[in-house]
Homo-oligomer: A and B are copies of this chain.
């Protein structure tokens, strides 16, 4: 895994950098943003950290999480280089800046999503990396940038969250070796897992009881739905559905799992697929995207309508892929 030479040069020579991660940021987005950000700062550079949305509660323990905010025009004006992390296209960063001044600066894209549209001036996209944070760790290592406990904690959080603690099928020896180096640099894996995974509540348990009670399975697809009524009855939020798709994904004799969540007149779908199956196309076709084994979309409609659409598209994809 080697960053392009012009990427290294741009980063080493820039004094003022603007780092941006994607909307509704997850652990890899925030972990990459902060990890690379702190390392560059500790190397003496001025770094602005931007994200269109607020940092989720369970990631606010990361150093610097409180300073991440929507991009300001001044930050763009001052920056010599823009680095966009974990984002496959400009929509993922909510088109935060007017196009002309944005494109007047060199834009570096660092991402591990196979669906990346290569929208930067320099694009480093590694679909075999398990997390963008893993790529940032490698970049820091190859550039000899500072790696201390703070940097390591942020990057380890990115790797741990995107691999569900090394459980996804893209967790290679390189991923574990990268995590080992981060722990050796001072990051506590136990702290990370406790902060990011120890997040259940009675409301969430109530919601899971109902969601699991409604699980259905047909033709190698397993799915469930979370309605506004269920959320309300349990006092739960849509965030409490996190993990449900992975739980269903661990069901024997299934190829695809789907969780549909009602949200402001739209439906948010989380999809998971077994190795050998690719559901990124189904998600893309319904207005979303992602990885072959984990993808999703948000779409206008009722639960019944979206269920019909996503099940038809999934079964069609399974037939095309020779699974049914």
Interface residues of A (CB under 8 A from B): 165-167, 169-173, 176-177, 179-180, 183-184, 189-190, 193-194, 197-202, 205-206, 208-210, 212-213, 215, 217, 247-252, 275
Distance in Å from the Cβ of A237 to the closest Cβ of chain B? 14
Distance in Å from the Cβ of A182 to the closest Cβ of chain B? 9
- Specify which chain B residues have a CB less than 8 angstroms from the CB of A166 in the assembled complex: 165-166, 189
Is there contact, CB below 8 Å, between A173 and B167?
Answer: no
Complex: A216 Cα to B201 Cα, angstroms: 11
Complex: A250 Cα to B252 Cα, angstroms: 24
Complex: A271 Cα to B179 Cα, angstroms: 29
CB-CB nearest 9 A-B residue pairs: A209-B212, A209-B213, A200-B251, A169-B190, A173-B183, A176-B180, A200-B250, A165-B167, A198-B250
26 A-B contact pairs sorted by A residue (CB < 8 Å): A165-B167, A169-B194, A171-B190, A173-B180, A173-B184, A176-B177, A176-B183, A176-B189, A177-B180, A198-B252, A199-B250, A200-B247, A200-B248, A200-B250, A201-B252, A202-B215, A205-B212, A205-B215, A205-B248, A206-B212, A206-B213, A208-B209, A209-B212, A209-B215, A210-B213, A212-B212
Complex: A31 Cα to B122 Cα, angstroms: 46
Distance in Å from the Cβ of A142 to the closest Cβ of chain B? 19
Copies in the complex: 2
Is there contact, CB below 8 Å, between A172 and B176?
Answer: no
- Specify which chain B residues have a CB less than 8 angstroms from the CB of A189 in the assembled complex: 166, 171-172, 176
Complex: A252 Cα to B205 Cα, angstroms: 11
Distance in Å from the Cβ of A167 to the closest Cβ of chain B? 5
Complex: A194 Cα to B249 Cα, angstroms: 10
- Specify which chain B residues have a CB less than 8 angstroms from the CB of A209 in the assembled complex: 208-210, 212-213, 215
Q: Find the B residue at minimum CB distance from A188.
A: B169
Q: A180-B177, A190-B169 are in contact. Are A212 and B201 (CB under 8 A)?
A: no
Complex: A183 Cα to B171 Cα, angstroms: 10
Q: Find the B residue at minimum CB distance from A179.
A: B176
* Among A183, A198, A205: residue with most chain B CB under 10 A: A205
Complex: A200 Cα to B206 Cα, angstroms: 20
Complex: A177 Cα to B179 Cα, angstroms: 9
Is there contact, CB below 8 Å, between B208 and A212?
Answer: yes
Complex: A184 Cα to B202 Cα, angstroms: 42
Q: Find the B residue at minimum CB distance from A166.
A: B166
- Specify which chain B residues have a CB less than 8 angstroms from the CB of A200 in the assembled complex: 247-248, 250-252
- Specify which chain B residues have a CB less than 8 angstroms from the CB of A206 in the assembled complex: 212-213
Distance in Å from the Cβ of A201 to the closest Cβ of chain B? 6
Is there contact, CB below 8 Å, between A172 and B183?
Answer: yes
- Specify which chain B residues have a CB less than 8 angstroms from the CB of A202 in the assembled complex: 215, 217, 251
Given A205-B251, A209-B215, 8 other A-B contacts at CB below 8 A? A165-B165, A166-B189, A176-B180, A176-B189, A177-B180, A198-B250, A209-B212, A212-B212
- Specify which chain B residues have a CB less than 8 angstroms from the CB of A172 in the assembled complex: 183, 189
- Specify which chain B residues have a CB less than 8 angstroms from the CB of A173 in the assembled complex: 180, 183-184
